[in-house]
Amino acid sequence: MRRKTEVASRTSANRTKAKFFVSYAHKNQALSDAFTEQLLDLLGPSKKYDYKLWKDSAIVVGEGWKEQILTAKDECDFGLLLVSPAFLNSQFIVGQELPRFVGDKRAPSIPVLLAKVDFRLHDLKGLEELQIFRYRGKRYTDFRSYAECKTGNPRHDFVFSLFESIETKLATSAVPRQTKDDETVQ
């Protein structure tokens, strides 16, 4: 029994830390919470990465919320952008969060289609330059947002496919690694 614990600790210590910032519209709070809960269940046992999520639910009561959001956004390894019409319509997201993740000097991000967006008719606020994660499994003939997938297996399949995409993206990009002494290594 003791030996298994030692192996688990050693394995955890050797994983690369990956901090990510979740950007979503508050109008999509319930959908975002269900999505991130499922995603965290898959990210937690990753062999390669020790994922650390920051979402505005981590804001400390009585502290400056805007400052905490902007600091978390700037300190993340990548942004997880939960795209929906409400996301694209949020003045705070478009003005304060999104500029870090779009344009020529953009930070790494993974845009995910949380709710259906019309790519021809909606202003994507610079996201049209990026591949937005959508799901097309065996059940569907076209790509779907998370919200368009029925609860249960289709939503699990959506999130599992995203998990695989995140692992692949991180394996092929330069995410800072932490050594045992927590010194950043590039």
CATH number of 2-175: 3.40.50.10140
Q: What are phi and psi of 137, to 5 degrees?
A: -95, -165
Name the nearest CA neighbour of 22 among 32, 12, 8: 32
The pLDDT of residue 9: 36
- The per-residue pLDDT for range 17-44, each reduced to its tens digit, is 999 999 999 999 999 999 999 999 999 9
Q: Quick check: 111 and 145 in contact, CB under 8 A?
A: no
| Residue 2 pLDDT greater than 70, yes or no | no
| Residue 184 pLDDT greater than 50, yes or no | no
List CB contacts of 68: < 8 A, sequence separation 6 or more: 56, 58, 59, 60
The pLDDT of residue 4: 37
- The per-residue pLDDT for range 54-96, each reduced to its tens digit, is 998 888 788 889 888 888 898 999 999 999 999 999 999 999 9
Strand-pairing partners, residue 110, are 80
Model pTM?
0.84
- Banded model confidence at residue 136, pLDDT cuts 50, 70, 90: confident
